Amino acid sequence: EEGAMSFALLLIDVDIFKSVNDTYGHAAGDASLKRVANLLKTTFRSIDFIFRIGGDEFSVIMVEMTSDLKDTIQDKIDVINEELAKEAQDAPAVSLSVGVAFSDRENKGESIFKDADQALYYVKEHGRHGVQLLLICSSLFFAPGIICL
């Protein structure tokens, strides 16, 4: 993280994915994962890195991204979730939960991955289907969608 270009790490989880497989079958689950991957690829920039970590988990590294551009990430995930809320021909409606940490965050935790994971856990524990941006803050002002710890 230190001395490198600014970036954001997004950890993404398809909400309640096991129930998709259990209810609609593995073919529909696979179609849902492909749909998520395609939406990530078309919504994020060509300079960003998109990974499938495994199962129903994805990650995006947004290069040249600082915490003051946090609304850009929120907007991108909102667009993806709006599209995923519509059933496709071969894939049921799903949603994403996303945790985000920035390389320029204050009071960095042990690692950017753990900070993004903590933000993702917060989303999962508070209703899923959304984004939490982790900025470890020293002020008392909390902006919407940002966890200050």
List phi, psi (to 5°) of 101.
-135, 145
Catalytic residue among 56, 68, 75, 115: 56
Q: Which residues pair with 60 in a beta bridge?
A: 10, 50
Distance CA 41, CA 30 (A): 17
Q: What is the pLDDT of residues 1-48, one digit of tens each?
A: 555 689 999 999 998 899 999 999 999 999 999 999 999 999 999 999
Please report how many Cα atoms fall inside a 13 Å half-sphere around the Cα of residue 12, on the Cβ side: 27
pTM attached to this predicted model:
0.84
Provide CB contacts within 8 A for 33, sequence distance 6+: 14, 52, 56
Comparing CA positions, the residue from 14, 5, 75 lying closest to residue 44 is 75
pLDDT beyond 90 at 148: no
Residue 136, pLDDT > 60, answer no
Is residue 30 among the annotated active site residues?
no
Write down the pLDDT at residue 147: 42
